[in-house]
Amino acid sequence: MAGSSGPAPSSGQDYKPDAVAHADIVPMVWFSCGLAALAGLLFGMDIGVISGALPFIKQEFHLSTGMEGWIVSSMMVGAAIGAFFAGGISNRFGRRKAMLYSAVLFFFGALVAVVAINTTLLVVARIMLGLAVGVASFTAPLYLSEVAPERIRGTTISFYQLMVTVGILAAFVSNLAFSYIESWRWMFGVLMIPAGMLFLGVLMVPNSPRWLAAHDRFDEARNVLNKLRGSREEIEYEIQEIQESLEQKEQSRGFDMFKENPNFRRSVLLGVSLQIVQQFTGMNAIMYFAPQIFEASGFEGTAAQLWSTVATGLVNVLATFIAIGFVDRLGRKPILYAGFSIMAISMAVLATILGIGPSTSFLQYTAMGALLVFVAGFAMSAGPLIWTLCAEIQPLRGRDFGISASTVANWVGNFAVGQFFPIMLVGIGGTMTFGILAALNLLFIVFTLLLIPETKGISLEKIEKNLMGGKALRDIGA
């Protein structure tokens, strides 16, 4: 230990020296987190690209309704599969290599889409891109949570979500640009550029010190922390916390740990529930079917609908800065309360207008405003903070399994929303559909109150100690 300012034995989070609590954030932390967050850009672009490409794909290949749906949803199937296997890949090869594999899949998935001569190859490309998204959506938040100091952990994971929103906006703008030459292949082709950037960038960042320590590579973990932390006291404190976490009696990992340890099952089920909540806010339905929703709101013509979609993407980006600015100041729960309230109110307004009928310009623009407010509510809260919480609540030995389970739940929920939202919109109408979304967001306020912990400023090891000690889920950040 480093002199008298080091932590007392077995003190854990209960005692934290000022040299640790107020240590400087070194440039390598921001560099590593920035490059990891680049995976979010690809994630977002892959989500956004299909909305603009699909009309031209449909025209070129004369798609049936079934094949149209499969081209959209095959990416989500690939993402669920990728997320399922991402835990094993990340645990065996490390977070850094998992991100490299994801970049390679992104690049070649986009390339196959560009050269696809039939729908079969296009579906293969979408599945490859989905596999890449699944691995990236698992690995990047996990890497960020393990590399960033606890006092900026929420900010860095929120920055990842910001890059997702930037990617969606970039795809919407790219779709609009290439729509004038009707080139869906170029819409997919631009994905290869950030994929190459991610691959080259990840080669320059260190591996996760917690992953190294979990694989008995403590010397390497210490060397990495020397690059990521600003003082010897901070390094020694963090090494001790990691060692204490690894020395717990529960030595099993992954699914074995899930079967044997009821406290771990609680954190896994909470993570799964959080991702289902995120999907059933309705945000991805808005992203996938924005042009159709704007059409139902009275905006006619492809150009008007695409420009409205770009406006949606821009609001999505800007509102994410609210989460980045306040997640480590106000905490997770206050922002979630605000976000779910905003989403519930805006969906209720949209449902009411669709029930009346957007017969005037005032009602049309009010409906558009309600939709944009909904997007802002999601982007400032459930968008980034669900990923943050899922990366924080899992114990070290079960983190790969726990986050893998929650990420799979995200993509299964995403698939379900993508499949059933248009059916609901046609079958029961916009008023009932958006009314249901309003009611769900009200329920999520109660969910936040009863089950979600406040993890602001708490180390991963302290959260784990509280979880394994049997504290109520909403109190494990105390």
Phi first, then psi: what are they for 119, rounded to 5°?
-70, -30
How far is the CA of 455 from the CAs of 5, 23, 25, 391, in angstroms?
25, 20, 20, 11
Could you tell me if 218 and 239 are in contact, meaning their C-beta atoms sit under 8 angstroms apart? yes
Instruction: Yes or no: say if 32 and 228 are a contact pair by the CB < 8 Å rule.
Output: yes
Nearest to 379 by CA among 335, 287, 317, 434: 317
Distance of CA 439 to the CA centre of its chain: 23
3-state SS of the chain: helix, strand, coil percent to 5? Answer: 80, 0, 20
The whole-angstrom distance between residue 36's C-alpha and the CA centroid of its chain comes to 12
Under 8 Å between Cβ of 101 and 203: no
**Which of 58-67, 75-84, 249-258 is predicted least confidently?**
249-258
Which candidate, 450, 440, 7, 20, places its Cα nearest to that of 243?
Answer: 7
Is residue 213 over pLDDT 90? no
Torsion of CA 416, 418, 424, 430, to 10 degrees: 140
| Beta carbons within 8 Å of 426's beta carbon, 6+ residues apart | none
Q: Write out the DSSP string of 195-239.
A: HHHHHHHHTTSPPPHHHHHHTT-HHHHHHHHHHH-S-HHHHHHHH
Query: For the stretch 73-89, what's the b/e string if a residue is b when 16 or more beta carbons lie within 10 angstroms of its beta carbon?
Result: bbbbbbbbbbbbbbbeb
CB 336 within 8 A of CB 385: yes
**Shortest CA distance to 434 belongs to which of 302, 310, 285, 326?**
285
Q: Mean per-residue pLDDT for 145-154?
A: 80
Residue scoring higher pLDDT (69 or 102): 102
Which one is predicted more confidently, 243 or 199? 199
What is residue 396's DSSP assignment?
G
For residue 346, what pLDDT is reported? 93
The candidate with the shortest Cα–Cα distance to 105, out of 239, 212, 195, 207, is 195
| Cβ contact 143:18 at 8 Å | no
Tokens for 152? Answer: 């900026």
Q: Do 162 and 320 meet the contact criterion of CB atoms below 8 Å apart? A: yes
Contact 26, 206 (CB under 8 A): no
Question: Could you identify the residue written with the tokens 């699944």?
Answer: 134
Q: Which residue type is seen at 198?
A: L
Question: In the prediction, which pLDDT does 107 show?
Answer: 96
Summarised one tens digit per residue, pLDDT across range 265-318 is 999 999 999 999 999 998 877 766 666 666 665 566 555 656 677 788 888 889
**Among residues 191, 174, 169, 163, which one has the least CA distance to residue 53?**
174
Q: Please write the tens of the pLDDT for every residue from 166-184.
A: 898 888 888 888 878 888 9
Amino acid at residue number 74: S
Residue 299 zone, left/alpha/beta (φ > 0; ψ -120 to 50; rest): beta
Q: Is the pLDDT of residue 460 over 90?
A: no
For residue 257 the two structure tokens come to 């740990």
> Rounded CA gap, 18 and 213, in Å?
25
Mean pLDDT of 59-67: 81
Q: Is the pTM of this model over 0.85?
A: no
C-alpha of 350 from chain center = 26
Q: For residue 147, give the nearest of 47, 68, 65, 221 by alpha carbon.
A: 221
